Structure formats: structure tokens, C-alpha cells
Chains A and B, each alone.
Chain A
């Protein structure tokens, strides 16, 4: 979907404030693909994705009055946060977040030298790899990587310790690195 220009975004915000169905449908047709990608990274696809997007859309419409336009792309970014929040709420509500605490096993210690070769893998594949991660891993991974939260913030948001957050991220990263490596080996 072609990104809308400033005029469209501002008009859209105004019409969403007026609670116009037409504007809501337009908003969804413009941003649904990218917002669904955000949601899918947290909850996967299928019915879960539908539930999250449904609730996110309701939140967008009911909370649009709190949004202040700050230039091109600000509406999408704001809506992305809404989607992420709705995804977290869905995970909490369904009890699907499981945390694996970091053990003292040496092989599970963070490997700071390891880098993810993300540029060698198509975006669609990366998206699928993230969606395949266990809920706990990918939740922290998404909050840390895409929403740019610190471990301190993530710990407070999820009600876990900072260490747990760090371990989830490490495991997620390591799991992703394995998947990427396998993919590269398969397609080399």
C-alpha cells in the first residue's frame, strides 16, 4: 500500500476524531499490512492476529483524540504502539507468556560476539522466524528490538526481573541466529 501523504494523514485523523466509519475503513486499508506485521511478531497469525487487530482498531478509534499529529509517519507509529499494547494484553489474557530463567550453564551465557546476519535473509523469512520463536522470547525480543525499550522498562511492563528480560532476549537472539544460519546454509 502506498504510504499516504501529509494531507491524507491529517484529514484522516480529523475524520477519525469525528468517528466516521469511512475514515476507519480507509485507515485500515492504508496501514493494516504493516500493523498486522507488528501484531504477528507478538502473537503469530490466525485467530490471534484477528483478535488483536480487532481490539487494536477499536482502541485506535476510541483513543484517536489523544493523538497529536507530529508529521508524516507519526500516525502509523502511534498506531503501532497501540497494536503492540493490544498484543501484550492478549498474551497476558490468554496466559501464553512463559519465562525461562537464565541458568548458570556456561553454554547458555550470552555470546556478545554473535551477530545476526539479517541482511542475508529476506524480510518475509525474518518475519516468519520471529513469529516461530516461543512467546516469552519473542515478546521481549520485539519490545527490545522493535519498540526500543530497555530491559528495565521491559521488566516493569511484563512484571519480570531485568535478568529474565535479558535472558529472554539472549535466547531469542540465539534461536534466531541458528535459524538464520540454517537458512543461509540451505540457500548458499
Chain B
């Protein structure tokens, strides 16, 4: 994105000459019109103010020594009103008096010319001011254009964020699970994605993805992964019918399809498959901070089985593990934006800090836990998702009958 600065204008620049001497006005008019400037004249201060307001010129040549309202008063008056305040003023001074010049400059004039006028000096000073004026104008226009483009980008990002948000699960998505979640991207959209997908009558898949970096590129990769993790791909036809693929098989497949060379980004994922009738949970984590299992008795287990982040190559395999849930056990999934939230002194919440939080909120429902966590993060950092995308899910399991 670049903006060209065009200096100069198609229409001639207008100069207002305010001087009580008609000969002086004619002299300046003669000098300026011969150089292509358009000229308006005012014979006293009052007429100058009126002319400047009715048809603001590009520049005013203002005689200091005029009867009744002198140039200083006219200058102050012009500067007082918004519609004339920006017009550059060059004072015309009868004598080479520094006191007068200083006073004029202090009142906001940009320059002065001393009488008797010298054609070359008048033209040089007028042209200099016109150049400054046109440069300022084109800078202002360029700035407005940049703001407009920025606004358009912001609008696009907001629309993209809406689309990304619409892909997230509803809060009461899967039968057998009560869910609460928070999604707080660092900019409008981010590289975090998560979802709950009903695979068949008793299996539900759940995942949290965190693409390295944040902003639009990470969000696009996140959405690509989200798209790839459709139910058709997560289950396969077996002897027992349509059943979930094993988590390690899913991660292996992702690692194959998303080598880092493809988007120049790796990502981490926690992928879980829950039997919503028996409570059997099978999971695998690819470089992702471990989901937590809060038991009814208040103990917390970290689900740390898995392998390296997706995209780093096939050197290490993905392990998976199985745990059995009891009724009312709670699963906590999150991205590293939660545990890496710094406090004022730079100390991170950490996995231990999150675990303590999870234990302390065991009596609350999933939605309330999410609200409490958001409050905790804001309290620590002053602002949530200031440093990284933040995603957090709480899932309470009740056996389906």
C-alpha cells in the first residue's frame, strides 16, 4: 500500500492582498497575476476578514499598518475562526522593524515582506508558502486515504472474526456434555480454533488447535485445519459401523497434510474422543499444553500423552492414552495464551496456576468457570489476549442413557 504525494493544483492559487494603499495592491497584483496567481483585494481590515471568510484564499498578504483595524488585529481574528485559521499569512511591513516581525510571527503569520517590495522576494516568499501549503494538503489527503484503507481493513477483519466465531460450537452442543468456552483472539481474529463434533450415536470428538503466531495468516491456517477436521474424516467404517478414528491416527494424518513448508506455520492440537455413554476418553496432544481432568473428588489429572507439534516432521510418533470419566467429571481444554498470561511483574499464570484455578472453581458450572477465568486473566494482565490468542473450554460429562 502506497500513497503518492502530488504537489501542485489544477486551479490557480488565490492570494488575498489586504493593504489600504491602492498603489501597493496594484503593485502586488501586477507581480502575482503575471506569475499565474489569482488575486483578490481588500482595502482595509474589515474587507479582508469578509473576503477571507466568504472565499478563503490559499494565502493572505496582510499589511500591518492599516487605519482602524490593523494587520495584527485582522490576523488574530482570522486565527480565531476555524474556517480561516489555517490560511497562511504573510505580513507586509513598512519598516524593517524586528519587533513588528516578531509580533506578527507570534500571532501565527508564516512570514513577512518588507516594503518597498522587491518582486523577486515577494515571489520567492509566496511560492515557498504555496509549496508548504500544497505539501501539507497532499499529506492530509494521503493521511485520510490511509485512514480510509485502514478502516476498510478493520471492517474486513471484523467480518472475518464474525465468520471465525460462527465456526465455534454453541454452548450446549453435544448431548452428554455441558460446555462453556471463551475465545479471545489477540487481534480481531486469531490462530486458535476449537470444536465439538458428534461422530455417531455415542462418540463425540473435541479439539483445540493453536496455530503459531496470531492475526490473519494464523487464523486462515486455523480455519483450514478446522475445515479438515470434519466429521467425515474423523470417523471410518469398521466392523462395528461408523466409528471414530483413533486420536493418534488423526494427528498423524494432520502431520502428513500440514508440513511446516506448506504454510510456514506449525500448530499444536489437543484431540479427544469421548464415549458419551461409557465415559471412556481417548486422547492425544501434539505439542499442546495438557488438558486437565477435574475429578469429582477435587483431584486434577493432566492429560499429557501425545507427541510433537503438527508440521515438524515424522521423526516422533504420536502416543495416545485412555482414561475413564466418572459422572460430573470436568474436562478443561485451553491454549497456551491462558497459561502464558503475564501479570504486572511478567510472571506467567503457568499450568500449576491454572490447575489451582480449576480446583478452586470445582463447584461452579462450565459457563461460570469461563467467566471467572476471564476475570482472573484481566485481573492479572489488565487486558485479556493482549499477548496471544486465548481459548478455554470447560466440559462437564453426564452419562447418556
- Is chain B found bound to chain A in the same assembly? no
Chain B: residues with CB nearer than 8 A to chain A? none
Chain A: residues with CB nearer than 8 A to chain B? none
